[in-house]
Amino acid sequence: TRLWLRSESNISVIENGSDKTEEFKGIALRALEATVTDDELRERLTPTHPFGCKRLVFATDYLQTLTKPHVEVVSSPARTLRSRS
């Protein structure tokens, strides 16, 4: 929570190329590498957009949850949306 509040109140965290951005990006990528051992899944979870472009997720079990056997990460776009599907 403190990390989230700090990042939300500090614009330098999301300034592309700033020292803070690179620091947080490194932390996030190291966490991804340490937690997700499957190369394909790790590649799919590695952002292609600049760090801070999307809302940062500060949850301690986020990556671990995505590696569970009953969880499927779908990275392709949705083709249809239905009210009962």
Under 8 Å CB-to-CB from 75, ≥6 apart: which residues?
A: 44
Identity of the residue numbered 36: V
Please check the confidence at residue 9 and state whether its pLDDT lies above 80: no
pLDDT of amino acid 84: 81
Here the tokens at position 14 are 């999301």
10 Å Cβ neighbour count for 77? 5
Higher pLDDT, 7 or 68: 68
What are 14-66's pLDDT values in tens digits? 666 778 788 888 888 999 999 999 999 999 999 888 776 676 677 778 899 99
pLDDT of amino acid 72: 93
Q: Where are the alpha helices (DSSP H) in 1-85?
A: 2-9, 19-35, 39-45, 62-66
Radius of gyration of the chain (CA): 15
What is the C-alpha separation between 10 and 6, in angstroms, rounded? Answer: 6
